[in-house]
Amino acid sequence: MEIVSLLIYMGLFLSSLLSYPFIMNKKKVARRKANLPPGSMGWPCIGETHQLYSKDPNVFFATKQKRYGEIFKTHILGCECVMLTSPEAARFVLVTHAHLFKPTYPRSKERLIGPSALFFHQGQYHSDLRKLVQSSLSPDTIGKLIPDIESTAISTLESLCNGHTVNTFREMKQYSFDAGILSIFGNLDDTNREKLSESYRTVDKGYNSFPTKIPGTAYYKALMARKKLNQILSEIISERKEKRLIEGDLLGQLLNFKNDKGLVLKEDQIADNIIGVLFAAQDTTASVLTWILKYLLDNPKLLKAVKAEQKAIYASNGGGRKPLTWAQTRNMRLTRRVILESLRMSSIISFTFREAVMDCEYKGYLIPKGWKVMPLFRNIHHNPELFSEPNLFDPSRFEVAPKPNSFLPFGNGVHACPGNELAKLEMLILIHHLVTKFRWEVVGSQVGIEYAPFPVPQQGLLARYWKESPSLKQAVCS
Ligand code: HEM
């Protein structure tokens, strides 16, 4: 079996290798006058995929930028790509000329999330769906979730204090999942939450595995779990319809939607968008939270100052007897700057992908139709001309607003993250409870980075957590 697939693979590889010069020639004829960006396309077929994956991808991008400047071409994972490293270029693709660049994802990923999820779309369907998602994530709506997010944060932190070493990223994933569920369904009953959580975990496990439909593989299990999620969601929708509840949460928005022609959303469109939002919300927020916990420990003076800011709020709330208010979360100035600097430093979404829908030109360079276009957020965030001493963790740099279009942790333009305020709120609330009532220390030397697929500290930041005893004023294991 393995030999057969190897032969097929080699056959495909060789035939495409042999046909490559002809394809190139045809393209050259069609685009005789083309002025492609500088850069190397690497080896026939495989391009520069090996160079990208054999070292830290950020080193690959940074080396290219140093050599070629703000725009360069390359060839990775079978795709011809143009990479862009300046705020102006990112704005061109994501904002001013967004109609020329469509979102593009591998089919295998689209199948797992659901093809009707808004981030795969452009045009009217996308803008209709986006309005609903934005409305369910507006400050008014998420402000009402504060007490529930607080209880989720407290129970997450308490569960960490078990005397054992824990993988921080894994625990933060559970927290961001639960907060995501709150924004989608409001208060969902425990049985349905547990069912969703179990099937979602299987989808999550298969998401980055090799996409084969062979039974037993992680990808196949993920596909089956995705089908199960549709059933669970269908039951939740029926219950909601029976109760005739009109809620401002995402499910309520999706159920009540009617377009100009009176059309409502089909159940699978609703399911795809719910899973899409959960997917967009979970690993992103959890990765950044994990980095924040590490950066705070690495900077003891800063941690002390953050504690002082949060303890003042805690005291004004009668030692945590009153819930946090929206106004208080808006006023956590230093903690907010720590979050912004963590978003910049970690740049967990290093880049995004689009595909040119027609030949277009940027600063005299041709971006051919069908090529992938990648604004490199991380390169922008680590450019010393935009952020001085970019490798230094310094939240005070956010005392002044960054230069326009230079700070893009949540993207820009029509597809910019509608969940950015919820993500920041979740982080502020978790930090508030962590620094006022708990302590934590990293186990072992934690210097490396792993990709899960977003960058997170090595092994998800192995750490031990304690509850601080208010009476003894010292750390005790709860
Ligand atoms: C720290 C946490 C987060 C980060 C860094 C982040 C980052 C991003 C970025 C960069 C994009 C744009 C991608 C592109 O242009 O291709 C995006 C889109 C999106 N995000 Fe987030 N996100 C976070 C949390 C959340 C949360 C909590 C939610 C929802 C509850 C969410 C929902 C979405 C959705 C639905 C989109 C697609 C929007 C569209 O296509 O119109 N995100 N996010």
pLDDT digits (tens, 9 = 90+) for 436-462: 999 999 998 777 898 878 899 999 999
Q: Any binding-site annotation on 417?
A: yes
Instruction: Encode pLDDT of 163-192 as tens digits.
Output: 899 999 999 999 999 999 999 999 899 999
Whose CA is closest to atom 19 on ligand 1? 417
C-beta separation of 314 from 432 below 8 A: yes
Q: Does the C-beta of 277 come closer than 6 Å to ligand 1?
A: yes
Instruction: Encode pLDDT of 200-213 as tens digits.
Output: 999 999 998 888 88
Q: What is the mean pLDDT of residues 133-140?
A: 95
Q: Does the C-beta of 273 come closer than 6 Å to ligand 1?
A: no
- Report pLDDT for 29: 41
Q: Ligand 1 centroid to 419 CA: how many Å? A: 6
pLDDT interval class at 245 (50, 70, 90): low
pLDDT interval class at 53 (50, 70, 90): confident
- Report pLDDT for 383: 95
- For the question of whether the overall pTM of this predicted structure is more than 0.75, the answer is yes
In Å, the largest CA–CA distance within the chain is 79
Helices (H), 411-461: 420-437
pLDDT interval class at 285 (50, 70, 90): very high
> Which of the 8 DSSP states describes residue 212?
-
| Contacts by 309-316, CB closer than 8 A, 24 or more apart | 309/333, 309/334, 309/335, 310/335, 310/431, 310/432, 310/435, 310/436, 311/435, 311/436, 313/432, 314/432, 314/436
- Report pLDDT for 477: 41
Q: What is the mean pLDDT of residues 235-252?
A: 85
Whose CA is closest to atom 16 on ligand 1? 352
The pair of structure tokens assigned to 49 is: 């995929």
Q: Is 366 helix (H, G, I), strand (E, B) or coil?
A: strand
Q: Does the C-beta of 166 come closer than 6 Å to ligand 1?
A: no
Q: Is 383 helix (H, G, I), strand (E, B) or coil?
A: coil
Q: Does the C-beta of 102 come closer than 6 Å to ligand 1?
A: no
Q: Is 72 helix (H, G, I), strand (E, B) or coil?
A: strand
- Report pLDDT for 451: 85
Does residue 58 surpass a pLDDT of 50? yes
pLDDT interval class at 250 (50, 70, 90): very high
Q: Ligand 1 centroid to 64 CA: how many Å? A: 27
Q: What is the mean pLDDT of residues 81-93?
A: 97
Q: Does the C-beta of 130 come closer than 6 Å to ligand 1?
A: yes
Q: What is the mean pLDDT of residues 299-321?
A: 96
- C-alpha span between 477 and 237 (Å, rounded): 42
- C-alpha span between 189 and 171 (Å, rounded): 21
Helices (H), 186-266: 190-207, 218-243, 250-256
- Report pLDDT for 33: 57
For CA atoms 246, 250, 255, 258, give the dihedral sign.
positive
Does residue 15 surpass a pLDDT of 70? no
What is the phi/psi pair of residue 349, to 5°?
-100, 95
Which of ligand 1's atoms lies nearest the C-alpha of 423? 27
- Mean residue pLDDT of the chain comes to 89
Q: Does the C-beta of 101 come closer than 6 Å to ligand 1?
A: no
Does residue 108 surpass a pLDDT of 60? yes
More confident residue, 277 or 34: 277
What is the phi/psi pair of residue 167, to 5°?
-85, 105
Lowest-confidence pick of 48-52, 150-154, 328-332, 392-396 = 48-52
Percent of the chain with pLDDT over 70: 90
